[in-house]
Structure 1
Amino acid sequence: MGIPETRENNKSESEVEAQGDDLPVLTTTTERRLMAKVDWHVVPCLCVLYLLAFIDRVNISNAALLGLKEDLNIEKGMKYNTALTIFFVPYVVFEIPSNILLKKMKPHVWLSLCMFGFGLVMVCQGLVSNWGGLMTTRWFLGMFETGMFPGCFYLMGMWYKRSEAQKRFSFFFSSTTLAGAFGGLLAYGLGQMDGLRGYRGWRWVFIIEGVLTCVVAIVWFFLLPDFPEDVKWLNEEERAYLRAKLAKDTGKAAGHASLGIRDILEVFKDWKIFIGSFMYFGQIVTAYGELLGWVNG
């Protein structure tokens, strides 16, 4: 004897999951399709952004191989190493202020502005004539790039649950690997322009990559998504579902609560922050130390 078909028997997978999680029901799509749409609009934009930021940050090593140190007379002593190091001073100092500004402004405005800024600085770096000019451009490069890494992480946190974000973070980090592989090949090709219009090859590396970054920044101003409640490619049902899911996962952290000094100080009371920081410190020291040793070698 067959079982009568009722509405309870015919519930879609999305309805069952939504009711089990106490979330709004999706009737026009499934959660998998919704998250695929979010992935397509969010992850590639942030990966390209960080890819260009990382290329612009480390291309000085390729420029050094193309004659930068000789032309600026910084082969001896600590001048070259100091130019590498000074980048990280504003990079560290301005990270928290950058995210505060990100919350006050739209992400597509702030991140695109930072991106255009470090692209413009990169062009200027291709025009420097001495060590002082190199130090100045490296300082401003660090200042503009400081918002990229924490800003991208913050924006991802506004779209994904903590359990969902991990896989997206792995794709985001992979863009740095691609930058290392692609950046060297690009620098080699640009280095062949040595002598064109009186500029050395290493200058063209900075200029062309800087112009490319500025162009992408202008395009990204229109493509980079803000928060779920702001974008036009979500309907009201999808928007409500994402809001409810994030609120259930992170509570007030998923909202736009004001950020004050007390909130910042609370971060330093969490021991997990320090453990994660030391782990990342070990990873970055190894990566940058290997890069520096390769260039100096």
Structure 2
Amino acid sequence: MSPRTSNDHQNEVKEKESALEEVASNHEGIVIDDATQKRIVRKIDWYLMPVLCFTYAIQYYDKAVISQAAIFGLRDDLDLQSGLRYSWVGLVFYFGHMVGMYPCSILAQRFRPKRVCSILTIVWGIIVLLTPTCKSFAGILANRFFLGLVESGVSPIFMLVVGLWYTQKEQSFRSAIWYSCSGGSMLISP
């Protein structure tokens, strides 16, 4: 960086800080009437809730699709008939979920939640697309573990997003809406 650019940047930072101090010193703040508040919340709902609901429904459906795949020959194709192999395929997802919960939550707090959630969802989609390439018991175990790992951040990030966009009174209802899509996906999936 040239010295001139550095000085410009410092001046810009000082201007922003003084503007923030001026806003913070104003005791009145911004007053919004109830009708405007409801309109704003409705607009946020129309933009945010469909994304949360659809993403959560699809990811929940992914957890349950393994049982439908078993009906169509997954057990025979990957030799999951013997012992507890099929049970382990379902269980290993939750091991990945436990391993990934804390790191994904930290990432969502350290970086922008929309970036972290977008990246996790894209990685999740790639792992789902790689599922048909699994030709053995070890392959499907690894696939399901990594699915659990990347899916573990979705619920905490969604809670964080709801907390960022809604007031405390509005949060429980909005969280209930996207969370209820987990069972809703099972109604239309077959």
Give the TM-score taking structure 1 as reference length: 0.52
Matched, 1:152 2:132: no
Instruction: State the distance in 2 between where 1:165 and 1:130 align.
Output: 44
Unaligned 5+ segments in structure 2 are 1-27
Instruction: State the distance in 2 between where 1:142 and 1:112 align.
Output: 16
In structure 2, the residue matched to 1:90 is: 96
Superposed structure 1 runs of 4+ greater than 6 Å apart: none
In structure 2, the residue matched to 1:121 is: 127
Q: How many pairs does the alignment contain?
A: 163
Instruction: State the distance in 2 between where 1:120 and 1:66 align.
Output: 22
Instruction: State the distance in 2 between where 1:89 and 1:23 align.
Output: 48
Instruction: State the distance in 1 between where 2:99 and 2:166 align.
Output: 28
1:30 to 9, 18, 36: 36
In structure 2, the residue matched to 1:223 is: none
Post-superposition shift, 1:162? 2.1
Matched, 1:179 2:190: no
Post-superposition shift, 1:104? 2.0
Instruction: State the distance in 2 between where 1:81 and 1:41 align.
Output: 39
In structure 1, the residue matched to 2:148 is: 142
Instruction: State the distance in 2 between where 1:119 and 1:57 align.
Output: 13
Alignment RMSD (CA, Å)? 1.8
Post-superposition shift, 1:38? 1.3
Give the TM-score taking structure 2 as reference length: 0.80
Instruction: State the distance in 2 between where 1:108 and 1:160 align.
Output: 16
Question: Which is richer in helix?
Answer: 2
Instruction: State the distance in 2 between where 1:130 and 1:90 align.
Output: 19
Equivalent pairs: percent with the same residue? Answer: 27
Unaligned 5+ segments in structure 1 are 1-21, 186-297
> Secondary structure of the equivalent of 2:165?
coil
Instruction: State the distance in 1 between where 2:75 and 2:154 align.
Output: 28
Paired residue type of 1:55: Y
